[in-house]
Chain A
Amino acid sequence: MEIQSATEPESLPAKPIFKPLKAHEMSDGSVQFRKVSVPPNRYSPLEKAWLDIYPPVYHQMKVDIRMNRGSRKVELKTLADTPDVSYLQKSADFVHAFMLGFDIPDAISLLRVDELYVESFEIKDVKTLKGEHLSRAIGRLSGKGGKTKSAIENSTKTRIVIADTRIHILGAFSNIKIARDSLSSLIMGSPAGKVYSKLRAASARLAERF
């Protein structure tokens, strides 16, 4: 037994080291696609911001991107030298975030930083409001000149898009949670001052975390 174990490592071949598969190799050479549909209200902003979208995706992510005007979709495709499959997905998420309403500098963070997510929910998920109440709720959410929204964004390091009754939050998971709680409390009817105090505590805690 001892003699065998002594000779075994010599006889076995060296442990093989495989490089991570490229996108093309994973799908056996076939190309992978992503298609992001463009809502009509974002069509012209997309045209304006195209020159900001295209370079990072194509040059940094090595993902081919094009706009299909006919189908009103942005199409993304892996190239031969796309390093990883996740790059394609990240690019798709980036484009999708832009479509939701986030600005380019904010949406770029999806490309650069891992672990960032976009969460969407509707006001009616929190509380059924109709008519004026709904409008007032939306007003409460954004605040005067958007200061409440900005306050939440700054304190929790997130970005918020309030599109009529839909709310999108972009950021890290725990930050999203805090922002969502603040927004929910605003929808439920708490005054902004109260939300501010809670935000202060939460942000302090977030800042001290290391």
Chain B
Amino acid sequence: MAQCVQSVQELIPDSFVPCVAALCSDEAERLTRLNHLSFAELLKPFSRLTSEATTPWFESYRETFLQSMPASDHEFLNHYLACMLVASSSEAEPVEQFSKLSHEQHRIQHNSDYSYPKWFIPNTLKYYVLLHDVSAGDEQRAESIYEEMKQKYGTQGCYLLKINSRASNRASDEQIPDPWSQYLQKNSIQNQDSYEDGPCTITSNKNSDSNLLSLDGLDNEVKVDGLPNNFRAHPLQLDQPSDPSNSIDGTDHVKPASSLHETKKGNTGIIHGACLTLTDHDRIRQFIQEFTFRGLLPHIEKTIRQLNDQLMSRKGLSRSLFSATKKWFSGSKVPEKSINELKNTSGLLYPPEAPELQIRKMADLCFLVQHYDLAYSCYHTAKKDFLNDQAMLYAAGALEMAAVSAFLQPGAPRPYPAHYMDTAIQTYRDICKNMVLAERCVLLSAEILKSQSKYSEAAALLIRLTSEDSDLRSALLLEQAAHCFINMKSPMVRKYAFHMILAGHRFSKAGQKKHALRCYCQAMQVYKGKGWSLAEDHINFTIGRQSYTLRQLDNAVSAFRHILINESKQSAAQQGAFLREYLYVYKNVSQLSPDGPLPQLPLPYINSSATRVFFGHDRRPADGEKQAATHVSLDQEYDSESSQQWRELEEQVVAVVNKGIIPSNFHPTQYCLNSYSDNSRFPLAVVEEPITVEVAFRNPLKVPLLLTDLSLLWKFQPKAFSGKDNEEVKELVTSQSAMIGTEVISEFLINCEESKVARLKLFPHHIGELHILGVVYNLGTIQGSMTVDGIGALPGCHTGKYSLSMSVRGRQDLEIQGPRLNNTKEEKTSVKYGPDRRLDPIITEEMPLLEVFFIHFPTGLLCGEIRKAYVEFVNVSKCPLAGLKVVSKRPEFFTFGGNTAVLTPLSPSASENCSAYKTVVTDSTSMCTALVSSASSVDFGIGIESQPEVIPVPLPDSVLKPGASVQLPMWLRGPDEEGVHEINFLFYYESVKKQPKIRHRILRHTAVICTSRSLNVRATVCRSNSLEDEEGRGGNMLVFVDVENTNTSEAGVKEFHIVQISSSSKHWKLQKSVNLSENKDAKLASREKGKFCFKALRCKEKEAATQTSEKYTFADIIFGNEQIISSASPCADFFYRSLSSELKKTQAQLSVYAEKQSTEDAVRLIQKCNEVDLNIIVLWKAYVVEDNKQLILEGQHHVILRTVGKEAFSYPQKQDPPEMELLKFFRSENTTVSSRPSVEQLSNLIKTSLHYPESFNHPFHQKSLCLVPVTLLLSNCSKADVDVIVDLRHKTTSPEALEIHGSFTWLGQTQYKLQLKSQEIHSLQLKACFVHTGVYNLGTPRVFAKLSDQVTVFETSQQNSMPALIIINNV
């Protein structure tokens, strides 16, 4: 229980004081009224000390309650002991007036019409007071009247009180203490404050004119002890009859209404006692003292003596008194059995002057004068008597007072008899049905128990008294009980909270809103954050409601906010109710201060870090055949891999533009900022281009939320256009549409527990710095509790208008925390976050803006298929655009054509049913031989140094004017691998005018192509055995091309026709087709294979001489009647691109060996003669039936031949995934490539061929020896001089071998030593000598070769494998 300032030992005597009535004459009343005080009030401050406490409302309630106890018949504590009769000296006949008053008093006391007030004993002490107004009245007269009074009533029975020493209207300089304000003010405030709806008797008492007064008696012992001025212990207290209608009508001249009015006025500013000086105060004090010592105390003493005498005279009674006293001291107890008897009998009522009551009267008097020992024994005796008589009410009263006086006995000779109190309470409540008395008893008992630290008992008592009939009382008691719980030795916090809640509930039922709110708030401290969400919600809700009714709107809002933002376990209906209440309160708040800043709304949740910002226009939807570049949009999910790819592409193109170096201040362009992007710099936005902010909302509630008029909130610092550097920072402008246009979403519905994003746009019209602060919207909910899960659910919502029940306008800020810093030591050891600037774009000057559209862009292709599409470039900005480039990781996929003249139709409409290739109609005769043309790779943008990935777009004037559009053809070639390909294009462009902030802009496009299998081409090249060709030159090659139709799945693809095979090489060209198939077009149906054989030649020297290293010779062998000019776009483009990408791959592999090769020249040279750089292009047509329409698709495949005899493929070989290598802990042995080249390589160094007649007829019968001339041709394939040794002797010496081979012998020189120059062909004339007919193998010569400048000799051994058979016939 809240600590009271007053101790219980002070409280009880304070509560039970001798009562003195005061009867005033009209005139006396008038005098006191000058001070705005009644007579009773005038005396009050000089008889009482006020106190402050922690729960003052309860104390004052208790005080008022105890004081306003109606006087009852069974006890005499608040019966009037004395009566002051007050008259004024200014009256005409004051003495008459006194006797009139005296009669009046007598009439009130003894007339049966008045049940109130009650008088203690029949002959009440009358004390006559003459009031004298010093400033107005005649002092002489007063004195004479007083003398008269003294004579009449005795000096002890009358008093002259002089007041009003100064005029009330005179302004006083001296500070007069105002003792009334303390008392009266407090009372009246409390009246209005906490007792508005309290028991009406209290209110009316306080406001009605008081003309009766009770005076505290002075302790006899204290007086004897010589402390006569101890006024603190003798308070004078105000008391009145509880019912104004029963008040003494004769004296009550001031009408209740006017007095009420006056009291109120007094409260509001009237100075009490304005006519009183300090001397007057002293006089009043003296008067009180005089009255108590001279009048009241002697009277009480006398009464006690009388009563005692009466009792003593009644023998039995006195005996019982003494025996009871003795019993107590010997420690015996009151028999408990009496309690049971109490219950079944109704209370007996004594007549007022019954002798049984005399002892009680005496006890009360003793009690009043604080003679507790005697009081206790009297009460005890009385209790026993009453119990014997079954007078339950009286017994309970005696029990109660016995317990109290036992407690108050100085030195506490006996323990406090708590069971007395319990019995008394029970009796009052259950038998007498007198709740008021029970309550008084409980209040006293609880107070006493508390003073003994028996808090749990006190709490139990208090709780037991709560009942349905009085909410206010229950509330106060529960609150005190709660305080008891928390004051316990081990505080029961949760019990405290619970009872606080109960108290709050009762307070609110009693209409005490402030108290209810306070209770709930105090309980909240216990429940807060403990996870008891239902309880917490309830408290918050109540707090919200109470705060609202008390107009504490901010508190209400925050309480309601609490319910809504915590993950609520409440049902949907409940949440809906909470929300509506919240909105209602909020609306009131905002109406109160319409000009104030927008309130922060708690709902819906915003996931700030998920906010995305997009700069630029929305992507246009596909327009017929036109397909806009995908670019960047908010619909795309973030993918770190692809964003890394884009970044690399941009770096690549920027490096090319800046001559190979990426500028240090380069940052990749970011059009879409999200939580993954680098947001440490201020993003750049371009004026007149929209900024879209995607805000992620989440509705945590089970009711849908409707946001209306949703828009962004921003701050803008415009930058002046003028050339002055010092940018003038204008006043921060918010929502000024001239600078920044703001898009408003009129309705945005978030269903229950839904996460949804809203895209909000801003249109900057001015350069400067923009700060996006948050969102502003009207928060509302949908009328009705139904959930909107589909359009059908609400019939009326097709129009898009939800009926708004209520909405409030508010804002929510977007605050994004940057990434945690983790670079320096300081940052690592502390938690620091970097800035996130994604919402603070800088609006820069105009930049060109490119839009790219693709026309006829396919989605599916055959592998290697060539398709022509068109690209449209549109400059939608007001700035010219230049430096357009496109970069892609897959440059072999597309081409814009080379620098050669474009022959194919330029516009897409004209290109229908037209070949993508540049063709020339040829006559059929030339089909076998190749048509030769040449082209330089530089023309096709493939240089050695240049990055093939970066392709400049051939704009007509290299500048795109504002608003202009250009359509360019674009050829596509299906990638060689089947499957789905995502191909990224990055278009790069610049402004013509250099911008300091944005150097370039980019546009992204991702094309998705699905390829399906078409042809599979394998080719090999081998040396022709025939050394002489028509031109008499060596170095012929045979090229075998295997073509397989691998297309199986496509039902539509009927067959493939090989229409042309072309070669492209720096040194070689196809010469003619060797196999002359009957059908001109080589048709291949599904799963069919075909083989082609071609002869290839070295290009002529003079051709070769004119060729730069980049010049390629193209040779076309045609199977149809149209020549596709392979050296022109697009055929050559794709060839070069695939070549360069192939080169890149091989270079990467070769570079590993580069250094070794330099040291091993010999091997290199030998290897070189094995190499060939012949590239084959297979051009085909596919006949496809699609939608009952036959289509002809074209395509080309490339095979790159490098090594003689090695098969090469058109499609990339599947590489086995490298086996997982074991980790090696030692250095691997350097497996050096042996300095000896392989046999196979060597065998290619010198090429030999034997020329001889296949059969030779010889007449053996004429001549036994047959001589056959044989020519051995030696051809040096290498570029170096080679020493050759030819040994004709048989290598094999075994006789068996001789047997088998038959015997022949070489005649003449059998060993030659020659030197062959580069590419030289040398012929040796040999003679073979045969002796028998038969078949002989002439391939026996062994050829050894060595490079001239080398020492090592290598044997070429190829001839061993190839038998050269000759038939010798006999004729």
A binds B: no
